Structure 1
Amino acid sequence: MKGQKLYVSDQKAVPMHLISDLLHKFSRWYELHRERELLASLSDEALKDIGVSRADVEHESVRPFWDDPMHK
């Protein structure tokens, strides 16, 4: 197709945007995992400052890494 970049490996062509989208998704999942870890590590005082309860943190921290509330 005109203007479409392809990655050729083992006689299969994969559009570059699919690879880019996949890398973006993995990056977003890692970002969510890291943010949830950081949130869980905050003290009760810090959570109170930002208006989040320990129960809210527990609820958020048990969500799977692929559960993206912003659907990015």
Structure 2
Amino acid sequence: MTRAVTMNSDALTVLNTARSLPLLAVVSIKFAACVTKWVTRRQTRLALDQLEAWQLDDLGLTPAAAYDEARKVFWKA
């Protein structure tokens, strides 16, 4: 199983406000954060699609709601 490494908001704030970083570095960091979010959404939705009805019930989701969420494209929240 793979795990995405996440940065807390304090770390991103420091990176975004540091004057020593060139513009390309700031853009690259923001792009990497965006791609990481997309990958996490995709993996989560794939896992959600594999859950059984009793597991969905434990999460408080109906099979229809899980189906709708699993079918969303990765760039939509």
Question: Is TM > 0.5 for Structure 1 vs Structure 2?
Answer: yes
Aligned length: 59
1:40 alignment partner, one of 45, 49, 53: 49
Runs of 4+ in 1 over 4 A off after TM superposition: none
In structure 2, list runs of 5 or more residues that go unmatched. 1-18
CA shift, 1:48, in A, is: 1.0
Bigger proportion of residues as strand? 1
Bigger proportion of residues as helix? 2
CA shift, 1:19, in A, is: 0.3
Q: Give the letter aligned to residue 29 of structure 1.
A: W
The answer on 1:23 being equivalent to 2:32 is yes
The answer on 1:58 being equivalent to 2:67 is yes
Q: TM-score, normalised by structure 1?
A: 0.74
> Computing the radius of gyration over CA atoms, which structure comes out larger, 1 or 2?
1
Q: TM-score, normalised by structure 2?
A: 0.69
Decide whether the 8 Å contact of 1:4 with 1:15 is kept in 2: no
- What value does the CA root-mean-square deviation take over the aligned residues? 1.2
Q: Percent identity?
A: 19
CA shift, 1:4, in A, is: 4.0
